[in-house]
Structure 1
Amino acid sequence: MSAALSEAAIAAELQHHPAATREEAWRRAERALRLRAALLAEADRAGLAPEPEDDAPVRETADESRIRRLLERRIRVADVSEADCRAEFARHRARFRTPPLFEAAHILIAADMSSEDARAPARAEAARLASLLAARPDSFARLAREHSACPSGADGGGLGQITARDVTPEIASMLAAMTPGTICPVPVPTRHGYHLLRLDRREDGRDLPFEAVRDRIRDHLRQRAWLDAARAYAATLTDVSAEEEPAP
């Protein structure tokens, strides 16, 4: 593909290709535009007109429709066998576990964490409450009702059963390190403010049986095989290697 691309076109495409440097983002945007042009040229040669899918969650553009139809014609992947799924299951056994469950409570002292003027009084208030809790752990629910900025404060700070995905990374890490039945001795800062945490119970994750994840594994392997085939096909249309080429 030797046609020159305008700087304006590359600049407009740039937003879709985040990278560590502008130079790398620019290179990715230029490569994506060249691939798109190559795919559309191939769709022209195949005489493919736009046929947008009516049930698509986001309506396709004419070019997107033509590229999709081209890929549907040109890319074929073998079906995934039961043996393939079992091999993937055995290779990545640790992935197929239920997440740990935490039964916890918190008191949130809210603050604009981007401002030291807002952080300082919130930090001092959280430290004061931490001292009170160290002396009277049984006062947690009362202090939550009186001071927490979270709606859970009305229920004594109780969060119910949660997983790491339900809370911020800072809270998830602290809960994972805590012993059930204890209160974290220091407030935990997050983007929302300072949290006082109590861990009531933890249920460790358990291994899932193959039958429970077979369909998820099959879908993953199908998608991976399709992407590999799409990259290989793209490489036949451009001068970029299959390893470098983004999926269409």
Structure 2
Amino acid sequence: MHEVTDKPARVNGVELHAAGEAPDAATLRQRACVELLRQRAIAAGLLAADDEAGCDGVISEAAAEAIEGLIDREVEVPEPDDEACRRHHAANAAQFDEGEALRLRHILFAVTPGVDVVALRKHAEHVLLEVRSHEDGVDPFVEAARTQSNCPSGAEGGDLGWLTRDDCAPEFARELFGRDELGVLPRLVHSRFGLHVVEVLERRPGESRAFEAVAGAVRASLRRQAYHTALRQYLALLAGAAELEGVDLDGADTPLVQ
């Protein structure tokens, strides 16, 4: 349970939540990072000075566009060289296998406009705990999917059948493929659609591919990692020059850089 405080967290005096609201630490970090970027966009002349900051984590469309332009302009992402790509492939060859498929079922908690994401995450984590802590011989997943899931697959107990990487959103696939886990995953999977409780029922391994056949995908994977690292470092610089109250960004990941 989060402590309710009458003193909102702030970034350079801009409040991140209303008095009496108690966002969790991850939500506060996300809002603080977005606010740091919004303020930097104003200072860089990419956003009007009268752009209003929301204390609910929602920013204007103009601010979102300005932040995207700011990141493109000020966050330098190094291009991985051939040697780095080959090392990455050698260490993570399973991620680039061809034909790997998983038989999945899931429970989707959709993130829609106006939804209380903190409350939704708490509820999703509660359902995750329930389906992971059942007794032998009892399977609560089907009923939970039928009554809780926002996906049409809920009517089938959350069954998604066999899926390949190409069948999934990239951020969803990254959490599931190239691994060995079976059963209900111990953490929620985040995607553009919302929060997922996922069970891997079966894995069908793919065929290994030589580096030359997947060089483009390897380079894209390393470039994505480099982008996350560069954005994290950029945010750390902004945080170091800012006055932060009630939020700690030291060494912490946020959904912006995961």
Structure-2-length-normalised TM-score: 0.45
- From the two aligned structures, give the one with the greater helix fraction: 1
Higher relative contact order (CA 8 A, sep 6+): 2
